[in-house]
Chain A
Amino acid sequence: MRDRLLETPSQTAGPYVHIGTAPQSIGRPPLINQPGPVIESNTGEAIVIEGTVLDGAGAPVRDAMLEIWQADGLGRIGEFGLFGRTVADFSSGLFRFQSVRPGAHAQGHAPHVALLIFARGINIHLHTRIYFPQDLEAMEQDSDMKRLEPEARETLIAREAGRNEAGLPVYRFDIRLQGAGETVFFDI
């Protein structure tokens, strides 16, 4: 006999997720204390993370909403943890965060960003991680990364993609929902 309550079931965020989670993206005034794509922190190197969510036919998912949660540049979480939210561009599907490169938050774990993906047609959000190419050595020691096949591991490592107009390093992280090169999604 189960002595616990059952978690409320998920339902898709649908195509109008912007109304409730990112009103500025549809030309409405932002709400106070509403998280956005730019995370201010002076604890590490400021970076840009950008990419596209691609469906099984290779088409950009232009109604995606994405959230990140990460340690700050010093590896601190909890009250120092950094949260950001963004939505895909309505025409190109490109999403973009500005953040800092995270420090390692625990022994045996390479620095990474936790990433959630919500969209129409995604019935329960997808959870993945973004690792950075500078941390290859730490990834060798990372118990989670070690359990993945090399090609699966590859889907979690952002690619250096030059600098933006403001001189910030840009990391490219594309997400393939289905099929060839499918991103690894986690049950955590």
Chain B
Amino acid sequence: MTTDFYRRDRAQHPAPYAPGYKSTVLRAPFRPLHALEQTALDKTGPALGHAPLGPLDHDLIRNAATTGDALGERIYVFGRVLDENGRPVPNALIEVWQANAAGRYAHVRDGYLAPLDPNFSGCGRCVSDADGRYLFRTIKPGPYPWPNNGSDWRPAHIHLSIFGEAFAQRLITQLYFEGDPLIPLCPIVNTIADKSAVDRLVARLDLRNQEPFDCLAYRFDIVLRGRRQTHFENRPEGL
């Protein structure tokens, strides 16, 4: 039998009820979560990261292109998927979605006046390799306004959905970009009480991994829940 995952440390996550973000007011449960032992079902998950992807799924600059590359600041987003024990998570499926460079989503329900880009859908996927490394290429999304407290503005962000090896590791989050002055003003960011936790959602500019004369690079590591260790096991190196 596989060992259990560490309990989720809810202090590292946003509060479900966070009235500064108005949509939580009617959608956050009133009752506390009911703690359960993990069953074998929770400790396994779909092997989505083992199925082949489309050849351009990781390249949002080209994967919806019709007349040319998507417009905007060309970037790589890359990093490693690790578990809480510092071990790489291979074959993690990462699905991403984002607004275009002007801050507009290619979505029937986004009515923001900024223009659509006919060469950009904002949808991508990639899978982590044996060392947990992943990479996709995209354009830096623009900030956009949304109705919350009047016109609030989202910092530039990319939505990420991650499948590790078990359903218990399932996670959806958003990455932000280093230096964006909108980050501390964002009601959604501020649903996370712990500023150091917010900091772990900020991708860092990494010039060493740029594509010269082509593309900047931002590094973003992802940590999924890890399995409990036995006392006999050695500590992983490099923490």
Which A residues lie at the B interface, using CB under 8 A? 3-21, 23, 26-28, 31-33, 35, 55-57, 59, 61, 63, 67, 69-71, 77-79, 81, 83, 90, 105-106, 109, 112, 114, 116, 118-126, 143-144, 147-148, 152, 177-179, 182-188
Contact = CB atoms under 8 A, between A and B. Distances in A.
B29 A11 contact: no
Interface in B60-112: 82-86, 95-98, 105-110
Contact of A26 (B107, B189, B222): B107
A124 B168 CA distance: 13
A124 to B, nearest CB: 5
B153 interface: no
Contacts of A21: 95, 97, 161
B207 interface: no
A124 B46 contact: no
A25 to B, nearest CB: 9
Contact of A20 (B6, B26, B29, B161): B161
Contact of A33 (B13, B31, B51): B51
A51 B122 CA distance: 29
Given A19-B106, A20-B161, A8 B223 contact: yes
B29 A35 contact: no
B210 interface: no
Given A6-B223, A27-B108, A81-B44, A178 B201 contact: no
Q: Is the interface of A mostly helix, strand, loop or mixed?
A: loop
Contacts of B6: 4
A81 B45 CA distance: 7
A183 B161 CA distance: 24
Given A3-B235, A126-B29, A81 B15 contact: no
Given A179-B30, A187-B7, A187-B34, A124 B13 contact: yes
Contacts of B172: 10-13, 17, 118, 125
Interface string B5-24: 01111101111101001111
A187 B124 contact: no
A188 B198 CA distance: 23
A188 B52 contact: no
A7 B12 contact: yes
Query: Which 10 A-B pairs give the minimum distances between C-beta atoms?
Result: A121-B23, A20-B97, A83-B46, A123-B14, A121-B27, A33-B51, A19-B97, A187-B33, A56-B26, A11-B174
Contacts of B125: 20, 31
- Pick the most buried of B24, B39, B83, B189: most chain A CB atoms within 10 A of its CB: B39
A81 B41 CA distance: 8
Given A28-B123, A81-B41, A8 B171 contact: yes
A18 B107 contact: yes
Contacts of A187: 7-8, 10, 33-36
Contacts of B174: 11-12, 14
Contact of B82 (A5, A69, A118, A123): A5
B57 interface: yes
Nearest to A57: B26
A126 B170 CA distance: 11
Contacts of A144: 36-37
